[in-house]
Amino acid sequence: MTNIFDGFFHPTIVFFGLGLVLLLLARTTVTWWRWLLPLAPVLAIVSVFVVEPCDYLQLRYLGLDLSLGRVDSLALLFANVFAIQALIGFIYAFHLKEIRHHVAAAVYVGGAFGCVFAGDYLTLFIFWEIMSVASTLLIWFNSRDNPRAVGAGIRYFVIHTIGGLLMLAGILLRYQVVGDFTFTGIIPADAQYYDWLIMLGFGVNAAFVIAHAWLPDAYPEATIPGAVFMSAFTTKTAVYVLARGFAGWEFLAWMGVAMALWGVFYATMENNARRILSYHIMSQVGYMVAGIGIGTAMTLNGTCAHAYAHILYKGLLFMSVGAVLYAAGTAKLNELGGLAGRLPLVMLAYVVAGLSISGMPIFNGFVSKTMTITGAFNDHQILLGMLMEVAAVGTFLSVGLKLPYFAFWGGKPTYDKPLKPIPVNMYIAMGAAAFLCIAQGLYPDLLYRFLPFPGAYDFQPWSAWKVLMTLLLLGFTGLGFMVMRGVLKPHAQRNLDFETLYIFVGRSFLALVSWPLAKIDALWSEVYERVGLVGLLFLGRITSWFDKMGIDFFLDNSAAGARDAGGILTTAQSGRLQDYLALAIALAAGIALLVWYLSA
């Protein structure tokens, strides 16, 4: 084993260490533990910024070659934004007194870093599952305030377990053929069935259409800071592994566009603000998956840039909607309205994030999303490119306009119930994210310098035409919203999605398993009652007879004697005075006769 810390301090150690220390401090009376929360991500940021690309932490364990520290430009880009978002997330969660929540968040973030730096499938799988368990806790920890979190958390965990098993099956089958666990890119022409299994396992976490429903089902039910963390790490870790392993797979190009459209279509109908944002994770991840599928240097850079920008603005969206939920106690649009005047800073933070996700010039979505779309057109994928533009219209319509309009601006009477004051740390976190969204939009170099594929500067977003085209597209989407805002008014309903299928399949499976079991159980009870019980009683009688007539008789008959004597004594105790008098007289007569006989 080489010197495992040589040149690279793995951020996972920092976050797992944070989790451990918090667990140890949980039973003490110290209050300074919360200052450790921002410290861990700061150390992670330092680690990511100072490390040189190289293979670190190469271990040989149980005859297997494990790689815990593959540090290259692709891994570093994701690690970079993960570290920054972890800092923002822990600042946002700073006021939270529940230590177990911070432990789960730290383990979850540590798991994400483990996945990003994993050079082999086995290491990846282990950290992948750690993330799955820790993120489930971030949903379940909300069950005191939101009973719906229990069921959503179970569904989330079951789906991720199925995804993990698909991935594990693929990994093991691949190992049988290839003979090692090395995690590298797979050329589409060489793809085998086990590669598809691995890719579909990744796809569950990336929210591929059909496998996606866990996302809008679970994220709206998580704790407020929990959803902020989850919006950043699960799907983007999946984007990272897809970019690493499956670049150029055409299936992903079409799947990505389907995700982009599915997400915006549902978001257009939704009422719960956090569910709208969840559908937009799916939609935005769709752009990234499409970029991976197209597989040119520009679209892959677009995917990376968009993942980076997305983590920042999506975190900000969840933070600002979380702040509304914190203050008002609800995130349902039909119950909110006109909050701009009462939560102006939250509204501003939301608007920055909403314009970023919509790709408005000045904000970071503009410099990232346009790269993927331009890459698609440059690769002559006209239909894919146009469908991505359709999704861009839907994005601005639903999350850039509908959500803030009905929560913060007009359309309905102003929300006039009392609002709980929002902790200052939540404002600081939102301010930091908003600053970064604008800074990257204005100075794309802040983002492009980290892009891992060649030709990162071939794309220039700030041209007169690109700005004008974007303003025309989004501006007239705004006009469309103005015309249709009466139609778009939110209603208190849930729109059924594939989670209904999951529940149906789950219940059918349960029925399928429990019905035959119940029948077999009933039949067995009947047989036991009719045959078994009678047989047992018969056997009991035989053994009892054998005991009495066999063993006891041949020994000294003491048991039967003692029983018979006891029986006589029992009947003698009748409680009637005349019986006792008769017995006493008989006894006295007997004794007198005995004395007379002996003395004669």
Partner 1 sequence: MPEPSIHENTLIATLRAQSGRLKLLFLVILAVLVVLNFFIGPYDPHVAWEVFPGFWAGFGFVLAVAMAFVMKRIIAPLIGAPEDIHD
The footprint of partner 1 (CB under 8 A) covers 147-148, 151, 264-265, 268-269, 271, 327, 338, 340-344, 347, 374, 377, 382, 385-386, 389-390, 393-394, 397, 409-410, 414, 418-422, 463-465, 468-469, 471-484, 487-488, 491-497, 499-500, 503
Amino acid, res. 279: Y
Minimum CB distance to partner 1 smaller for 95 or for 342: 342
Minimum CB distance to partner 1 smaller for 38 or for 480: 480
Task: Judge whether 242 and 198 are in contact, CB under 8 Å.
Answer: no
Task: Judge whether 455 and 334 are in contact, CB under 8 Å.
Answer: no
Minimum CB distance to partner 1 smaller for 65 or for 389: 389
Minimum CB distance to partner 1 smaller for 144 or for 541: 144
Taking the complex as a whole, the smallest distance from the CB of residue 151 to partner 1 amounts, in Å, to: 6
Taking the complex as a whole, the smallest distance from the CB of residue 435 to partner 1 amounts, in Å, to: 21
Identify the H or E element spanning 56: strand 54-61
Q: How far apart, in whole angstroms, are the C-alpha atoms of residue 485 and residue 477?
A: 12
Q: Which residues contact 520 (CB under 8 A, 6 or more apart)?
A: none
Q: How far apart, in whole angstroms, are the C-alpha atoms of residue 95 and residue 26?
A: 16
Minimum CB distance to partner 1 smaller for 61 or for 476: 476
396, 376, 403, 402: which is closest to 388 by C-alpha?
376
Amino acid, res. 197: L
3-state secondary structure 393-430: HHHHHHHHHHHHHHHHCCCCCCCCCCCCCCCHHHHHHH
Taking the complex as a whole, the smallest distance from the CB of residue 374 to partner 1 amounts, in Å, to: 8
Taking the complex as a whole, the smallest distance from the CB of residue 328 to partner 1 amounts, in Å, to: 10
Minimum CB distance to partner 1 smaller for 185 or for 410: 410
Q: How far apart, in whole angstroms, are the C-alpha atoms of residue 116 and residue 68?
A: 9
Task: Judge whether 16 and 106 are in contact, CB under 8 Å.
Answer: yes
Taking the complex as a whole, the smallest distance from the CB of residue 476 to partner 1 amounts, in Å, to: 4
Minimum CB distance to partner 1 smaller for 390 or for 559: 390
The neighbouring-strand residues paired with 58 are: 67
The neighbouring-strand residues paired with 64 are: 61
Minimum CB distance to partner 1 smaller for 45 or for 152: 152
Tokens of 401: 């306009």
Taking the complex as a whole, the smallest distance from the CB of residue 215 to partner 1 amounts, in Å, to: 15
Taking the complex as a whole, the smallest distance from the CB of residue 289 to partner 1 amounts, in Å, to: 21
Identify the H or E element spanning 70: strand 64-71
Taking the complex as a whole, the smallest distance from the CB of residue 301 to partner 1 amounts, in Å, to: 18
